[in-house]
Amino acid sequence: MKRILCFALTALLLAFSAACAASDPNDSAATAAEVPALESALPDTGSGTPPELPDGMGTPPELPEGMGTPPELPEGMGAPPELPDGMGAPPELTDGMGTPPALPDGMGTPPALPDGETGERPSGMPGKPGERPSGKPDGKGDRPSGKPDGKGERPSGKPDGAGNPGGKPGGSASDVSYAGVVTVSSADMQENQTYASTTADESALMISTSDAVTITNPTVTKTGDSDGGDNCNFYGLNAAVLVKDGASVTITGGTITSSASGANGVFCYGGNGGSNGAAGDGTTVTISDTVITTTGSGSGGIMTTGGGVTNANNLTVTTSGQSSAAIRTDRGGGTVYVNGGAYTSNGLGSPAIYSTAEIHVANATLVSNLSEGVCIEGKNSIELVDCNLTASNTKCNGNATFFDSIMIYQSMSGDADSGTSSFTMTGGTLTSKNGHVFHVTNTNAIITLTGVTLINEDGENILLSVCADGWSGAGNVATLNAIHEALSGTILVGSDSELTLNLTDGSTFTGAVSGSITNAKGTSVSTDVGTVHVTLDSTSTWTLTADTYVTSFTGDASNVISNGYTLYVNGVALTGTK
C-alpha cells in the first residue's frame, strides 16, 4: 500500500513539473535545487526512492487537500496495516467482513484477530457477530418435564398414587435384577413351607418357569422396602410372591404377609413388556382360600400386569398403604377373575379394585375406607356380579378434585390405552358413603347397571358427574344404561361434556340434570349444562325434581312425570308430560 501511494505522488509531481517547465523555462534551475528538499520531506515508506526529477522541472505545487488518505478497501479485505503518521486513517470494517485475504508482497502483515475468533459470523444467527441467540440453537427449546415416551418418570396425579413415593421410574423387565430367597425354576409341588425375605428388591418366593407349580398352605413373609418404583408396579420386583415366565401356578390356603413398600402380595407378570393390549406369555396364577395382608405403600393384594392371568377364589385381602388396591393391575394389563372372598383397602389412593385390565368379580365383598370403591383407567373394564361394594372416599389423591365411589378416567400416563372404558354391575349392592356415586372425566365411558341396589348416603345426592377434573387430553363423555334399575339423584354434565341416558326394562329415574358443578375444593367447574341425550322406553319413567334442560329426548312424553317442573328439549318445553 505504501509503494502504491508513493508512486502515485511521484507521478503527480512529474506531471506538474513538466507543465511548469513548459510554461516558465527560466525557473528550471530553482526547481532542480528544490527537489532534494521535497524528497527529504516525504515520509519514509520503505518502498524505495522515487526517480530523480529532470533538471529544471521547477518546484512542485502543494498536494490537493485529502490526498494523504488511502482509498477504501474492497469489502471483505479485512483491516489494513497501520499507516505511518500523517498517512490518514484506514476505513472501519463492517460487521461480519470475515478474515482479510493475504496482502501482496511488501504490504505488511495483516493484524491478528482476537483469540478464538475466525472473523466468520455463525450461519443463520441474527444479531451481533459472536452473540449466541437466546434459546437453544436447534430451536427446540427446553424439553418439558416428564417423559412422553414412557421411559422416564410417569406423570404425577393418578388417583391411585401410581408408584411408590420417591420411587425410580421403570425401564423394561430386562433391566430388572430379580432375586428370590426361594426360586422355583421347574415343575414342583411344595407344601407347608415357610418363605421369608427381609431384603429390598428380593421376593420371598419367586416362580420362574414355563412348567406347572403347586404351592399348598404356604407361610410367606416379606419385609425390606424397595425404591424400585415402576419396576415394582410393572414387573414384580420386591413382591412377596412373584410368578413369571409362562408359569402355571396353583396356590391354595396359607398366609402371605407383606410389610414393605413396593411389595405386592402375589404378583402375576405376563411378560408382554408393559405393552397394553398385547398377549402375555401364558403366566397364570390360580389362588384360593389364602389370606393376604399388605401394609406398605405400592403394595397391592393380588397384582396382575403384562398380560398375565389371575384366578382368585375366596381370598381375604386387606391392604393399608398408599397406592395399594386390594385387586390391582398396572401397565400391560391382563385378565383377572375373582369369585367370592372379601377385599378391603384402607389407604389413600387405594380403591378396592384398580383396573388397567379386564377384571371380572362375582359374589365378593368389596370395601374401600378412604378412596374410591373402584377405579378404571382408559380402555379397560370392570364387571361386578352379585357383589356388595361400599366406598367412603373422603380424601382426594393425585389430580382428583372430586369425591366419588366409581371413578372412570384416563390419566394419559401411558399405563392404559385410550378408548372406551366400561363398568358393568349386575345385582348386588352399591353403597356410596361420600361424594358422587359415579364420576367420569377425560375418557369415554359406558356404565351399565342391571338390578343393582344403589344406596347414596351423601347429602348432596349426586348420582353421576361427567365433567372436567385434574386431567386433560380427551373429552368427558358417558353413557349410562339403566336396565330394570331404580335411579335417583342429580346428574351433573359440564358445559364441555356429554351424556347419553338410556332407561329401559321398567327402569325409573327420580332426579334432574344440571350443569352447575363445584368440585370438592370449592372451585366452580361449570355453570351451564352440556350435551344431554335421553331415551325412555315405553316401560320406563322419569320423575323430575327440578327444571331440566336436555339436547334431545326420545320416548313418550307421558312417561315424564313433571312433578311441578319443566323438561326443556333443545330450549323448548316438552308438552304432554304428566
Question: For residue 197, what are the contacts with CB-CB under 8 A and spacing of at least 6?
Answer: 180, 181, 203, 204, 221, 222, 223, 224, 240
pLDDT, residue 170, reads 52
- Compare 312 and 277 and report the one with higher pLDDT: 312
**What's the average model confidence in pLDDT over 520-527?**
96
Q: How far apart are CA 64 and CA 411, in angstroms?
A: 85
Task: Answer whether 77's CB lies under 8 Å from 100's CB.
Answer: yes
Name beta bridge partners: 249. 213, 285
Q: What is the mean pLDDT of residues 79-84?
A: 44
In 10 A of CB 528, how many CB atoms? 13
pLDDT greater than 80 at residue 146: no
The residues with which 68 forms a beta bridge, in sequence order, are none
The per-residue pLDDT for 14 is 53
Long-range contacts of 9-13 (CB under 8 A, 24+ apart): 9/42, 9/50, 9/63, 9/67, 10/50, 10/51, 12/60, 12/63, 13/38, 13/50, 13/53, 13/60
Output 212 or 129, whichever has higher pLDDT.
212
Average pLDDT over residues 533-560: 98
CB atoms within 10 A of CB 572: 8
Which tens digit of pLDDT belongs to each residue from 51-66?
444 444 444 445 444 4
User: C-alpha dihedral over 86, 89, 90, 93, to 10 degrees?
Assistant: 170
Measured CA to CA, the distance from residue 153 to residue 169 in angstroms comes to: 5
Q: What is the mean pLDDT of residues 378-394?
A: 97
Q: Is residue 276 scored above 90 in pLDDT?
A: no
Q: What is the DSSP letter of 122?
A: P
Residue for grid cell 391382563: 334
Q: How confident is the model at residue 77 (pLDDT cuts 50, 70, 90)?
A: very low
- Helix boundaries (H) for 24-117: 28-41
CA–CA distance, 434 with 371 (Å, rounded to integer): 10
Q: Which residue has the cell 493475504?
A: 102
**pLDDT band of 135, cuts 50, 70, 90:** very low
| Model pLDDT for residues 340-364, shown as the tens digit of each residue | 999 999 999 999 999 999 999 999 9
User: According to the model, what pLDDT value does residue 44 have?
Assistant: 46
What mean pLDDT comes out for the span 393-402?
95
C-alpha cell at 1: 500500500
Question: Quick one: CA torsion of 375, 204, 307, 271, rounded to 10 degrees?
Answer: 140
Pair 498, 472: CB distance under 8 Å: no
Rounded to whole angstroms, the Cα distance separating 80 from 492 reads 81
pLDDT at 6: 44
What is the predicted pLDDT for the residue at 157?
A: 66
Backbone angles phi, psi at 574, to 5 degrees: -75, 130
Q: pLDDT value at position 109?
A: 44
Tell me whether strands 524-526 and 486-493 are parallel, antiparallel or unpaired.
unpaired
Q: Percent of the chain beyond pLDDT 70?
A: 71
- Please measure the distance between the N-terminal and C-terminal CA atoms of the chain and give it in whole angstroms: 109
Q: Where in the chain are the domains? A: 183-343, 372-578
Q: Which of 164, 180, 188 is nearest to 222 (CA)?
A: 180
**pLDDT band at 537; cut points 50, 70, 90:** very high
For 203: left if phi > 0, alpha if psi spans -120 to 50, otherwise beta; the answer is beta
| Per-residue confidence (pLDDT) for residue 277, from 0 to 100 | 83
pLDDT at 318 over 70: yes
The model's confidence at residue 145, banded by pLDDT at 50, 70 and 90, is very low
Compute the distance between CA of residue 244 and CA of residue 306 in angstroms, rounded to an integer.
10
Mean pLDDT of 403-419: 95
Average pLDDT, the chain: 81
CA–CA distance, 218 with 36 (Å, rounded to integer): 122
Q: Per the structure block, which three cell numbers stand in for 337?
A: 377373575
C-alpha cell at 166: 420417591
Helix (H, G, I), strand (E, B) or coil at 216: strand
Cβ neighbours of residue 464 under 8 Å, at least 6 residues apart? 436, 437, 438, 439, 440, 447, 478, 480, 489, 491, 492, 499
- Would you say residue 408 has pLDDT above 70? yes
194-245 pLDDT, tens digit each: 999 999 999 999 999 999 999 999 999 999 999 989 999 999 999 999 999 9
Grid coordinates of 490: 342429580
pLDDT at position 274 is 85
Q: What percent of the chain has pLDDT over 90?
A: 68
Asked if residue 104 has pLDDT above 90, the reply is no
Q: What's the mean pLDDT in 484-495?
A: 98
3-state secondary structure of 196: strand
Which one-letter amino acid corresponds to residue 52?
A: E
Confidence grade of residue 262 (pLDDT, cut at 50, 70, 90): very high
CB 407 within 8 A of CB 375: yes
The whole-number pLDDT of residue 160 equals 67
Instruction: Give the pLDDT score at 13.
Output: 54
In angstroms, rounded to a whole number, what is the distance separating the alpha carbons of residues 31 and 27? 6
C-alpha cell of 161?
398414587
pLDDT digits (tens, 9 = 90+) for 10-49: 555 555 544 444 444 343 333 333 333 434 444 444 444 4
Q: What is the pLDDT of residue 236?
A: 97
Contact 338, 360 (CB under 8 A): yes
Q: pLDDT value at position 147?
A: 34
Q: Using 50, 70 and 90 to split pLDDT, how confident is the model at 528?
A: very high
45: left (phi over 0), alpha (psi -120 to 50) or beta: alpha
pLDDT-wise least confident of 149-153, 359-363, 379-383, 529-533: 149-153
- Give, as one character, the DSSP assignment of residue 559: G
Averaged pLDDT, 541-563: 97
CA dihedral 143, 149, 155, 161 (to 10 degrees): -160
Give the C-alpha separation, 548 to 536, whole Å.
Answer: 15
What tens digit of pLDDT does each residue of 152-182 get?
A: 333 446 776 454 333 445 567 888 999 999 9
The type of residue at 263 is A
Asked whether residue 130 carries a pLDDT value surpassing 80, the answer given is no
Task: Report residue 494's pLDDT band, with 50, 70 and 90 as the boundaries.
Answer: very high
501 near 480, Cβ under 8 Å? yes
Task: Say if residues 489 and 439 touch (Cβ distance below 8 Å).
Answer: no
